[in-house]
Amino acid sequence: MKVVIMAGGQGTRFWPWSVKDRPKQFLSLMGEETMLQQTYNRFHKWLPAEKIFIVTSKEYVSLVKEQIDLIDDNQIIIEPLQRDTGPCIALTALNFLKSMDDEPFAAVPADHYIPEDDSLLKVFTIAEDIANRDFAIVTLGIKPTRPETGYGYIQTEVDQEPDNNVLTVKSFIEKPSLEKAQRLLRTPGVYWNSGIFMWKPSTVSYYMKKFHPEIWIELEHNWGNLDTIYSYLPKISVDYAILERADLVYTIPSSFYWDDVGNWSAWDRLNQTEEEDNAVMGNIHLLSTKNCIIKSENQETIVIGVQDLIIASTEDGLLICHKSQEQKIKEVLQRITNNKRI
Residue 26 and residue 120 in one domain: yes
Q: How many domains does the chain have?
A: 2
Residue 144 and residue 112 in one domain: yes
Residue where a domain stops, chosen among 239, 260, 281: 260
Full residue range of the structural domain in which residue 215 is found: 2-260
Burial 315-342 (b: 16+ CB within 10 A, else e): ebeebebeeeebeebbeebeeeeeeeee
Residue 156 and residue 33 in one domain: yes
Residue 150 and residue 298 in one domain: no
Residue 131 and residue 168 in one domain: yes
Closest of 119, 115, 117, 95 to residue 107, by C-alpha: 95
pLDDT in tens, 122-150: 999 999 999 999 999 999 999 999 999 88
Residue where a domain stops, chosen among 222, 243, 260: 260
Check: CB of residue 11 under 8 Å from CB of residue 111.
yes
Residue 205 and residue 173 in one domain: yes
Res 101: pLDDT:
97
pLDDT per residue as tens, the chain (342 positions): 999 999 998 888 999 999 999 999 999 998 899 999 999 999 999 999 999 999 999 999 999 999 999 999 999 999 999 999 999 999 999 999 999 999 999 999 999 999 876 788 999 999 999 999 999 999 999 999 999 988 999 999 877 766 668 999 999 999 899 999 999 999 999 999 999 999 999 999 999 999 999 999 999 999 999 999 999 999 999 999 999 999 999 999 988 889 999 899 989 888 866 678 899 999 999 999 999 999 999 899 999 999 999 999 999 999 999 999 998 999 999 898 887 665
Residue 291 and residue 252 in one domain: no
Residue 76 and residue 161 in one domain: yes
Residue 60 and residue 86 in one domain: yes
**CATH number for the domain harbouring residue 59:** 3.90.550.10
Residue 22 and residue 143 in one domain: yes
Rounded Cα gap, residues 185 and 217, in angstroms: 41
Res 31: pLDDT:
84
Rounded Cα gap, residues 323 and 278, in angstroms: 12
Residue 242 and residue 285 in one domain: no
Residue 314 and residue 245 in one domain: no
Res 275: pLDDT:
74
Residue where a domain stops, chosen among 231, 260, 289: 260
Res 117: pLDDT:
67
